Amino acid sequence: MKSSFYLQIENSTAHRQNRDLNCELAMENTENLKELFEFAFNIKDKNHFKACWSLELVLEKDISLLIPYLDLFCEKISKYKHDSAKRPVSKICLFITKSKQFDLSKKQEQQIIETCLDWLIQEEKVATKAYAMRALYNFSKKHLWIKEELKVILNQDYSFHSAAYKAAARELLKRLK
């Protein structure tokens, strides 16, 4: 039997008001929060992407809530196939790279880096690519090889993408010089 919180997410839309409500419900109740993580990580559930929308907002407010789920998150990120899940998941990757609260293991770093590189070189939506390139840029401060790889990919793909992609790529290429 599905909980009322699960049904709330399942019946939600991409409208910001819906996502904000789900975020609030999760942050107010630890059971809802736990369920949100489970729902977002259950890629077999046809509505998992809706949970990812709200999870992004929860983690934007408090990224430390991901700490107990970090291993699972890193294992799952490469398995997301739904475009509407990849965008918030790629943004969560960016949050992780900006946060000082994580001491990522080599394996966790590798999982995030590989997935972000895959998103950057594969046919993905612009938002997913933009968050991935920014996350990779943050990792390049520690892993210098990423800088050169990122420069090559951004320069190589620049002319084939939209204005939004070009704007994000231009911003990062300036920083990479």
Per-residue confidence (pLDDT) for residue 165, from 0 to 100 = 81
Please spell the DSSP secondary structure of 111-123, one letter per residue.
HHHHHHHHHHHSS
Residue 173 in contact with residue 155, Cβ under 8 Å? yes
pTM for the full predicted model = 0.93
Q: Using DSSP, state whether 87 is helix, strand or coil.
A: helix
Q: What is the pLDDT along the chain (177 residues), one digit of tens a residue?
A: 889 999 999 999 999 999 999 999 999 999 999 999 999 999 999 999 999 999 999 999 999 999 999 999 999 999 999 999 999 999 999 999 999 999 999 999 999 999 999 999 998 999 999 999 999 999 999 999 999 999 999 888 877 888 888 888 889 889 988
Task: Please give the Cα distance from 144 to 113 (Å, whole number).
Answer: 13
Query: At which residue do the structure tokens 């699960």 appear?
Result: 6
